[in-house]
Amino acid sequence: MSCLQLIINPGSTSTKLAVYDGEKKLLQSSIEHKPEELLRFEKIGDQVPFRLELIRDFMRQNQVRGEDLSAVIGRGGLVFGLKTGGYVVNDELCEALVNHEYSQPHASNLGGLLARAVADEYHIPAYIYDAVTSGELSPVAEITGMEDIRRRSFCHVLNSRAQAIRYAASIGKRYEDLNLIVVHLGGGTSASVHKHGSIVDSVGDDDGQFSPERSGCFPSLEIVRLCYSGKYTKAEMDKKIRGKGGMYAHLGTSDCREIEKMIRNGDKHADLIFQAQAYQIAKTIGLLSIVLKGDCDAIILTGGMAHSQMLTERIRDYVSFLAPVVVMPGENEMEALAQGGLRILEGRELANVYHLPERKDS
């Protein structure tokens, strides 16, 4: 039985597309967008007609017949309050993807909107899968020391969960039977606790360890001082936190390969910063091990930077006493989306149905 899926993964500067038949990738393409092409759109949702026409061109050029598709799978957007797994893209989810009362504006929000637009043409289902904001945090995990700020699950769910499922299969066990800590190492680094199939806690790329391009967390009073110093605009502070923070701020590059080369050439400052990054990532792993009360089956290091043996070995040196450290480098978002969609189509998982939260003033 054929399970042909169109995969749509929109980013801030590209739209990645693929067609899978079951777990077999038939074709894949990445359409790059020039900044001026997107600057003319005031809101993220305004880009739907523009990107939809590019998807139709992709289908025409590659002779992908909509009538042959079983489903369209979009990258999950930044909608608050989602669980892990898949969601049917219904009217309420579409509203949440464009209404910033219910979501954070991001190009990935287009994944569900575009999937729904294509799927409606051919009367097939549209799903999103493992959104960045999905998780099953307990009420105690959401509490912070400020009453008007609560913690939400925010991590690289798609790749982290896909690698956790893959690891479980590799040792002949079910993902739901394991307790895992998964660290996604990329331009931004996040870590998550997978307890019997649920992400019960996470540390995002702005509330923990620093990374190649993210500054991570720091003393709160110092950041308040910087924000009100008059030295930086809000846009500049945003860039210091995401984009020009972390190793980039210290070394002028976020390329791990370049930094390793600097270290091998005797740059002691680069070595110190690199060690500090490994140290902070290890501290996050140690922090999350408390959530499992020490009952951790494995620590998985994944993402693009997990290709760096220098980094993974430094992390391993700190945390191997907690649990076995497994390195699974790379991030296969398209494959992870296709596998998630296939599990739904084959009935191995049930897709969730999203409902808008009741307004507090209602």
Examine residue 145 and state whether it is found in any structural domain, yes or no: no
Residue located via tokens 């270290």: 263
Query: What own/partner pairs with CB < 8 Å and gap ≥ 24 does 88-93 have?
Result: 88/125, 88/126, 88/127, 88/351, 88/352, 88/353, 88/354, 89/113, 89/115, 89/116, 89/119, 89/126, 89/127, 89/128, 90/353, 90/354, 92/354, 92/355, 92/356, 93/128, 93/354
Asked if residue 258 belongs to a domain, the reply is yes
Q: Does residue 148 sit within a domain?
A: no
Q: What is the DSSP letter of 322?
A: T
- The number of beta carbons lying within 10 Å of the beta carbon of residue 290 is 10
Both 315 and 170 in one domain: the answer is yes
Q: Do 134 and 21 share a structural domain? A: yes
Give domain status of residue 190, yes or no: yes
* 316-361: pLDDT as tens digits: 999 999 999 999 999 889 999 999 999 999 999 999 999 999 865 5
Residues 188 and 316 in one domain: yes
Q: Per residue in 149-179, is it b (16+ CB within 10 Å) or e — as a string?
A: eeebbbbbbbbbbbbbbbbbeeeeeebeebb
pLDDT of residue 12: 87
**Amino acid letter at 357?**
P
Is pTM beyond 0.95 here? no
Euclidean distance between CA atoms 288 and 53, whole angstroms: 44
Q: Do residues 287 and 185 share a domain?
A: yes
Distances (CA, A) of 80 to 15, 129, 133, 350: 23, 14, 6, 20
Q: Is residue 150 part of a domain?
A: no
Instruction: Please indicate, yes or no, whether residues 206 and 319 belong to a single structural domain of this protein.
Output: yes
Average pLDDT, the chain: 95
Residue 362: inside a domain: no
Domain count of the chain?
A: 2
Q: Are residues 35 and 169 in the same domain?
A: no
Q: Is residue 82 part of a domain?
A: yes
Q: Are 58 and 17 a contacting pair, CB within 8 Å? A: yes
Residue type, 225: R
Q: What is the pLDDT of residue 331?
A: 85
| 177 & 320 share domain | yes
Same domain, 163 and 230: yes
Q: List C-alpha distances in Å: 285 to 89, 193, 235, 291, 305.
A: 34, 9, 31, 10, 16
Domain region containing 316? 157-330
Mark whether 169 and 268 lie in a shared domain.
yes
Q: Are 10 and 38 in contact (CB under 8 A)?
A: no
Residues 9 and 97 in one domain: yes
* Residue numbers in the chain where pLDDT is lower than 50: 362
What's the angle, vertex CA 4, arms to CA 166 and CA 73, rounded to 5?
65
Q: What is the pLDDT of residue 358?
A: 80
DSSP string, 29-51: EEEE--HHHHHT-SSGGGGHHHH
Residues paired with 299 in a beta bridge: 181, 325
pLDDT at 315: 98
Separation of alpha carbons 185 and 358, rounded Å = 36
pLDDT of residue 359: 66
User: What confidence score (pLDDT) does residue 362 get?
Assistant: 47
Same domain for 92 and 167, yes or no, is no
Residue 147 counted as domain residue:
no
Find the CATH number of the domain harbouring 63: 3.30.420.40
Kind and range of the H or E run holding 325: strand 325-329
**192 in the same domain as 104:** no
- Amino acid in position 295: D
Residue 84: the pLDDT is 97
